[in-house]
Amino acid sequence: MSRTLLVTGAAGFIGANFCHYWAARHPGDRLVAYDLLTYAGNAASLKALLDRGQLTLLRADIGDAEAFGRAMADHDVHWVVNFAAESHVDRSIRDPGAFVRTNVLGTHVLLDVVRGLWGASPGAERRFHHVSTDEVYGTLGPDDPPFSESTAYAPNSPYAASKAAADHLVRAYGRTYGVPFTLSNCSNNYGPYQFPEKLIPLCIVNILSGRPLPVYGDGRQVRDWLHVTDHCRAIEAILTRATTGTSYNVGGGAELRNLEVIEALCRRIDAAFLTTPSLGERFPSAPAARGEVSASLIEFVRDRPGHDRRYAVDGRLLERDLGVTADYTFERGLAQTVQWYLDNEPWWRAVMDGSYQDWIERQYGTTAP
């Protein structure tokens, strides 16, 4: 059966990867991208799908009930996949209000419109899938077991709190009004099309530009790295096979300290310059262009306020119920990601925002190592 998926936040990092993934695997389905195109949204990430007529792009706000209701009715949507959000923790420290508006109030608007359209008996073919984060669970000590679906919510940043509030609304609309939802809480994604404010793409473009690699605090914070394609595969399994009303955690099985991630990136890029000498001409400011190591750019800076020490995800429920585990090792995923940024310089040059870089510099500054 052919379906229509409305994908909010489709021009962002994970949303764009999801649209490419879905179009390749389900060519008979229709994709409607619903995105406000904020600083983080980039229509260029969807260009191939737009050019091939595989996707319709609507520029609109998830907080605009009329626009969302019209999009739902015009396209007779079966499944809504909600990626749209303000997603960067550092920005939530600067401007928490934007996170409450989009992540909490925006999600509420989506739920209310869906409830009105689908009613209490939406039928088996309707689904609202909400994409959330492991950050809702707060932080772990070094020996704590990973977050499971029954771990209590304890968000620490305004971003995490806004995502937690949205998750609660999704569950409540399911229980109270019968909105047919599924929910996923995943760990740190990486891969193509990620905006260069998040750790991995930021470090790649900074190495290539010869700029410092800012390590917050001591760099020993741990994240569980999930390649975005593995995340898309997990969402596909949940959408197509999970029971309505269930939540799944999605992890990458790759717990690493931030400093380990940065050092692995440095080594990867140094090796690429050795095997491809033309990179030295394309990126003359990179240390490797002068035969120096990229790690010379590492700088320890002031820590992020409220910085969570460790995230780790227990993905056993997803594996047991739906047979999904991560395919990518971190090494393979990182190599693929570095290559993508080397091959797509025009994409990342176009999305860089100088004013935000200035704010980050003022916020964190540089500390002695």
- Give the residues lining the site for ligand DAU (CB under 6 A): 87-89, 133-135, 187-188, 198-199, 202, 214-216, 221, 223, 258, 304, 311
Catalytic annotation present for 74: no
Distance CA 43, CA 41 (A): 7
Distance CA 264, CA 271 (A): 11
Ranges within 97-116 binding ligand NAD (CB under 6 A): 102, 106
Q: Of the two residues 42 and 258, which places its CB atom closer to ligand DAU in the complex?
A: 258
Ranges within 190-249 binding ligand NAD (CB under 6 A): 195
Catalytic annotation present for 134: yes
To ligand NAD, the closest distance from the beta carbon of 62 in angstroms equals 4
Question: E strand or H helix at 216, and its extent?
Answer: strand 213-216
Token pair of 217, please? Answer: 């605090």
Cα torsion through 39, 43, 46, 48, rounded to 10: -140
Per rule CB under 6 A, count of chain residues that contact ligand NAD: 30
Distance CA 32, CA 166 (A): 22
Span from 23-31, 137-145, 186-194, 205-213 in contact with ligand NAD (CB under 6 A):
186-194
Amino acid 141 reads G
If one asks whether residue 62 binds ligand NAD (CB under 6 A), the answer comes out as yes
Distance CA 82, CA 123 (A): 20
If one asks whether residue 326 binds ligand NAD (CB under 6 A), the answer comes out as no
To ligand NAD, the closest distance from the beta carbon of 274 in angstroms equals 30
Span from 33-41, 145-153, 262-270, 303-311 in contact with ligand NAD (CB under 6 A):
33-41
If one asks whether residue 63 binds ligand NAD (CB under 6 A), the answer comes out as yes
Question: Among 9, 155, 196, 253, which residue sits at the site for ligand NAD (rule: CB under 6 A)?
Answer: 9
Residue of 252, 133, 269 lying closest to 207 (CA atoms): 269
Q: Residue 199 binds which one of ligand DAU, ligand NAD, none, with CB within 5 to 8 A depending on kind?
A: ligand DAU
Strand, helix or coil at 174?
helix
Q: How far is CA 328 from CA 4, 53, 59, 186, 343, in A?
A: 29, 30, 33, 15, 20
Q: Residue 311 binds which one of ligand DAU, ligand NAD, none, with CB within 5 to 8 A depending on kind?
A: ligand DAU
Q: Among the options 35, 134, 224, 270, which is catalytic?
A: 134
Q: Of the two residues 133 and 294, which places its CB atom closer to ligand NAD in the complex?
A: 133
Sign of CA dihedral 106, 107, 111, 117: positive
To ligand DAU, the closest distance from the beta carbon of 325 in angstroms equals 18
Distance CA 88, CA 12 (A): 12
Distance CA 240, CA 322 (A): 10
3-state helix, strand, coil in the chain (%, to 5): 50, 15, 35
Sign of CA dihedral 23, 83, 66, 92: negative
Q: Of the two residues 189 and 247, which places its CB atom closer to ligand NAD in the complex?
A: 189
If one asks whether residue 189 binds ligand NAD (CB under 6 A), the answer comes out as yes
Q: Among the options 135, 255, 263, 270, which is catalytic?
A: 135
Q: Residue 230 binds which one of ligand NAD, ligand DAU, none, with CB within 5 to 8 A depending on kind?
A: none
Q: Among the options 159, 190, 193, 364, which is catalytic?
A: 159
If one asks whether residue 77 binds ligand NAD (CB under 6 A), the answer comes out as no
Distance CA 33, CA 45 (A): 12
To ligand DAU, the closest distance from the beta carbon of 207 in angstroms equals 12
Token pair of 271, please? Answer: 């090796």
To ligand NAD, the closest distance from the beta carbon of 123 in angstroms equals 26
Catalytic annotation present for 90: no
Ranges within 119-148 binding ligand NAD (CB under 6 A): 131, 133
Cα torsion through 150, 175, 178, 28, rounded to 10: -10
Residues that bind ligand NAD (CB under 6 A): 8-9, 11-15, 35-38, 40-41, 61-63, 83-87, 102, 106, 131, 133, 163, 186, 188-189, 195
**Which residue numbers are catalytic?**
134-135, 159
